[in-house]
């Protein structure tokens, strides 16, 4: 069978499922052929809590995407997030086998960097090279063919709970889909919204979702820090429902229509109609009151992100500032509030370099799905050239992540 060039990204979010299919263009862009959405009813804080519900929701998004693109979808690149994700920096070193560094030497160096004691119930999701050192010379991004005796590598390792990944795979399989790869959601989003210059200079990506806020920090084109915080836009909605005594679905509507994360941006004479619980007639309230509730929760979320970044020790290297994406970043005033809290320039990140049906996918809440598609496109292009697995962060490198292959055995063998 001829392998299709179509790649599909599937973002199983806490509040929505988004499936995007597309293919690469000659000039490093992506043509979007179709998109499918569904609300998400089987997820909590970025993790599957009901396989049945999630499978049904995926199926809904799948039918929509297939209809729009006019083709059948069989396999997907899927995202992973949630509080079970943890990451750390590590290093490994090997003696170079011949006169110059080979792909196998790089592979062995990466294996030693990843050979850390990881509990039985966890697995490595990504081993992301940051820098290679050949003898005393550091800051090497591609050591292949370089002369030397000793090869060292610094990496960022992301691990996750095996059970969480297996639940994602099960939900996909139950919708008739096989999983090509599992990718950290913040890495995927960064792929869709960051520019090469930002990644080179140093940048912080914050994906504000419904149930989680995902962080990824890049310096010198390498990922230095990733983190997942179990708070997101759903909490803003819950606060509005409690604070204004209105049903949750109405609170969500009010948030989408009138909310603002900066009270000072709302005029004192702006009023909104708030539906009451039960049969009582709606109340008229100051829009500033709604903004106060939103600002308080958004401040809390962004302050937690800021604390996490300060603790990582890399925040001051993010010269290009902060890029906010995800549905939670679409609240008015988010950029301004972020600049205050992070004390860095901030912008809202929209998926970039898209063609075809780009308007349907160029929204911050599609960043993860589009990023998963970009990941798949890069990976398949590199595999086509070398026939080997590649690393997300370094698609041009000539090495295979044997670990990833064995990880996949573990992900899939137990899934029936
Ligand atoms: N225009 C908007 N204004 C304010 N909030 C918005 C807007 N659009 C979407 N949101 C909020 O964004 C959140 C959903 O974002 P997103 O779709 O990125 O999350 P998700 O991927 O489902 O969840 P997660 O990534 O946490 O698993 C919801 O809380 C939603 O209310
Ligand atoms: Mg998300």
What is the number of domains present in the chain? 2
Confidence of residue 278 (pLDDT cuts 50, 70, 90): confident
What is the share, in percent, of the chain residues with pLDDT greater than 90? 82
pLDDT at 393 over 70: no
Q: Are residues 204 and 156 in the same domain?
A: no
Q: What is the DSSP string of 64-105?
A: HHHHHHTS---EEEEEE-STT-EEEEEEEEEE-SSSB--HHH
Residue 394 located in a structural domain? no
The CATH number given to whatever domain includes residue 104 is 3.30.1490.110
Query: What number does the ligand 1 atom closest to the CA of 82 have?
Result: 27
Which residue range(s) make up the domain with 156?
86-160
pLDDT at 383: 75
> Which positions ≥6 away from 77 have C-beta within 8 Å?
7, 8, 9, 10, 179, 180, 181, 183, 188, 372, 373, 375, 376, 379
pLDDT at 384: 60
Q: Is the CB of 15 under 6 A from ligand 1?
A: yes
Q: Are residues 211 and 317 in the same domain?
A: yes
Query: What number does the ligand 1 atom closest to the CA of 212 have?
Result: 26
Residue 4 located in a structural domain? no
The CATH number given to whatever domain includes residue 228 is 3.30.420.40
Neighbours of 313 (CB within 10 A): 11
Q: Which of 158, 148, 72 is nearest to 109 (CA)?
A: 148
pLDDT at 416 over 60: no
pLDDT at 23 over 90: yes
Of 143, 160, 177, the residue at which a domain comes to its end is: 160
Neighbours of 394 (CB within 10 A): 18
Entry pTM: 0.91
Higher pLDDT, 114 or 303: 303
Confidence of residue 375 (pLDDT cuts 50, 70, 90): very high
Q: Is the CB of 209 under 6 A from ligand 1?
A: yes
Q: Is the CB of 326 under 6 A from ligand 1?
A: yes
pLDDT of 136-192, one tens digit each?
899 999 999 999 999 999 999 999 999 999 999 999 999 999 999 999 999 999 999
Mean pLDDT of all residues in 371-378: 95
> Which positions ≥6 away from 341 have C-beta within 8 Å?
299, 302, 303, 306
pLDDT of 111-129, one tens digit each?
999 887 788 889 999 999 9
Q: Is the CB of 37 under 6 A from ligand 1?
A: no
């Amino acid at each position: 069978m001829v392998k299709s060039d179509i790649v599909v990204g599937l973002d199983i979010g806490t509040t929505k499922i988004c499936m995007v299919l597309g293919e690469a263009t000659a000039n490093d862009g992506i043509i979007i052929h179709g998109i499918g959405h569904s609300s998400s009813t089987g997820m909590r804080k970025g993790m599957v809590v009901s396989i049945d519900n999630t499978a049904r929701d995926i199926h809904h998004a799948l039918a929509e995407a297939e209809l729009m693109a006019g083709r059948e979808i069989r396999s997907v690149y899927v995202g992973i997030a949630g509080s079970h994700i943890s990451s750390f920096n590590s290093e490994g070193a090997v003696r170079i086998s011949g006169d110059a560094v080979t792909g196998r030497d790089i592979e062995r160096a990466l294996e030693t960097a990843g050979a850390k004691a990881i509990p039985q119930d966890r697995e490595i999701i990504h081993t992301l090279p940051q820098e290679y050192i050949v003898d005393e010379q550091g800051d090497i991004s591609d050591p292949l063919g370089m002369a030397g005796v000793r090869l060292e590598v610094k990496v960022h390792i992301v691990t996750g709970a095996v059970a969480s990944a297996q639940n994602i795979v099960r939900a996909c399989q139950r919708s008739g889909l096989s999983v090509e790869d599992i990718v950290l959601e913040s890495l995927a989003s960064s792929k869709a919204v960051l520019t090469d210059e930002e990644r080179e200079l140093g940048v912080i990506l914050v994906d504000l979702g419904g149930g989680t806020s995902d962080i990824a920090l890049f310096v010198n084109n390498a990922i230095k820090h990733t983190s997942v915080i179990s708070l997101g836009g759903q909490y803003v909605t819950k606060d509005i429902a409690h604070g204004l005594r209105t049903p949750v679905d109405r609170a969500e509507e009010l948030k989408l229509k009138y909310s603002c994360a900066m009270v000072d941006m709302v005029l004192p004479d702006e009023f909104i109609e708030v539906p009451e619980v039960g049969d009582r007639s709606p109340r008229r309230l100051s829009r500033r009151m709604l903004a106060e509730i939103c600002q308080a929760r958004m401040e809390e979320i962004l302050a937690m992100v800021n604390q996490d970044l300060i603790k990582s020790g890399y925040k001051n290297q993010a010269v290009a500032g902060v890029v906010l994406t995800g549905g939670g970043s679409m609240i008015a005033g988010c950029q301004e509030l972020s600049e205050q809290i992070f004390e860095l320039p901030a912008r809202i990140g929209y998926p970039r370099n898209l063609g075809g049906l780009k308007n349907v996918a160029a929204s911050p809440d599609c960043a993860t799905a589009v990023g998963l598609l970009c990941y798949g496109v890069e990976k398949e292009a590199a595999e086509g050239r070398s026939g080997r697995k590649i690393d997300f962060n370094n698609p041009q490198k000539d090495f295979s992540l044997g670990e990833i292959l064995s990880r996949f055995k573990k992900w899939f063998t137990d899934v029936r």
